[in-house]
């Protein structure tokens, strides 16, 4: 599933290609993809794309003040941009046709079909974005904000980092990378962190995400990719490989149905939650 770094790169690649283009038509091939109803796409027709933004794991295509297309690629979805004349495959779920003769297509080749899109007049009040937490690469996300988010919570760090209502955009893979960088175990509980560890976690969040954006961009160039580029990661998906810091084999646990990888040595022993007092 694409996470913040993947989506930032997609946004960066797509923006110079289609921002400024007007939509001449929209084709919806899987009506349930559009959560605002199939007819809602008419809002986009003859409008010019002003900007492509991102909020959490959503891409936000803004066609002026009253028309915004939100896209969540979920597990298997990806975006394709190319000539209109290129015959769409049966996996094409949504097709935006631009004035310059290019198409932006949302492709989802395998079921269950989970990708979703919304056409909304105001993204700020739109259902999927309303409950999202802070953007971890924004100036708003200070160490103080992290301290505030963690205060009073008793939950494993992996679950804390992937909770979209607290911090938006971090998923399974980058939570593992952040925790490796912070030298913290994914099963450490939030309320056991010292001030030093909190500080390390805050730095690791920004560093890991920025590093990933650079690494992905360096690998894909200007080519839109149809699967996540993850070869450069330190721990996620690296079960059994030697840790690049200490050589210990990377461990894997299934944590709340998600594959979680970590270095047992660099990230310390698994710390059980302390006994309740009183
Ligand atoms: Zn290690």
pLDDT, one tens digit per residue, over 194-210 is: 999 999 999 999 999 99
Look at residue 269 in the predicted model and tell me its pLDDT: 64
Q: Does some domain include residue 62? A: yes
Shared domain for 41 and 72, answered yes or no, is yes
Encode pLDDT of 32-44 as tens digits.
999 998 889 999 9
Q: Does some domain include residue 178? A: yes
Q: Does some domain include residue 271? A: no
- Give the Å distance between the CA of 151 and the centre of ligand 1: 29
Shared domain for 148 and 90, answered yes or no, is no
Q: Does some domain include residue 215? A: yes
| Residue span of the structural domain in which 181 resides | 143-262
Residues, Cβ < 5 Å to ion ligand 1: 243, 245-246, 248, 263, 265-266
Shared domain for 10 and 63, answered yes or no, is yes
- Give the Å distance between the CA of 208 and the centre of ligand 1: 16
Shared domain for 108 and 170, answered yes or no, is no
Backbone angles phi, psi at 89, to 5 degrees: -80, 170
- Region 239-249: what's the mean pLDDT? 97
Do residues 46 and 253 touch, judged by C-beta distance below 8 A?
no
**Structural domain count of the chain:** 2
pLDDT band at 94 (very low <50, low <70, confident <90, very high): very high
Do residues 121 and 66 touch, judged by C-beta distance below 8 A?
yes
Q: Among residues 107, 130, 153, which one ends one of the domains?
A: 130
Residue (of 64, 48, 93, 267) closest to 176 by Cα position? 267
How many beta carbons lie within 10 A of that of residue 109, not counting itself?
Answer: 14
Q: Among residues 79, 104, 130, which one ends one of the domains?
A: 130
Q: Does some domain include residue 161? A: yes
């Amino acid at each position: 599933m694409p996470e913040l770094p993947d989506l930032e790169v997609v946004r960066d690649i797509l923006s110079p290609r289609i921002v400024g283009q007007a939509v001449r038509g929209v084709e919806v091939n899987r009506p349930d993809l559009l959560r605002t109803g199939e007819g809602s796409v008419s809002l986009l027709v003859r409008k010019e794309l002003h900007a492509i933004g991102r909020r959490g794991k959503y891409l936000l295509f803004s066609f002026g003040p009253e028309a915004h297309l939100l896209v969540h690629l979920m597990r298997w979805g990806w975006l394709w941009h190319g000539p209109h004349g290129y015959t769409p495959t049966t996996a094409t779920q949504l097709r935006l046709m631009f004035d310059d003769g290019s198409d932006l297509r949302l492709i989802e080749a395998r079921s269950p079909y989970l990708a979703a899109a919304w056409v909304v007049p105001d993204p700020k009040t739109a259902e999927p974005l309303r409950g999202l937490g802070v953007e971890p690469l924004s100036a708003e996300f200070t160490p103080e904000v992290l301290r505030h988010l963690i205060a009073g919570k008793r939950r494993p760090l992996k679950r804390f980092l992937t909770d979209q209502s607290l911090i938006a955009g971090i998923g399974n893979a980058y939570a593992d990378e952040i925790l490796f960088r912070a030298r913290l175990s994914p099963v450490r509980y939030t309320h056991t962190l010292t001030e030093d560890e909190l500080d390390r976690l805050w730095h690791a969040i920004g560093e890991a995400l920025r590093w990933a954006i650079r690494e992905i961009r360096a690998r894909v160039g200007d080519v839109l990719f149809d699967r996540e580029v993850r070869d450069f990661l330190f721990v996620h998906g690296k079960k059994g490989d030697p840790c690049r810091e200490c050589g210990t084999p990377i461990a894997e646990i299934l944590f709340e149905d998600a594959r979680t990888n970590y270095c047992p040595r660099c990230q310390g022993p698994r710390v059980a939650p302390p006994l309740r007092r009183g």
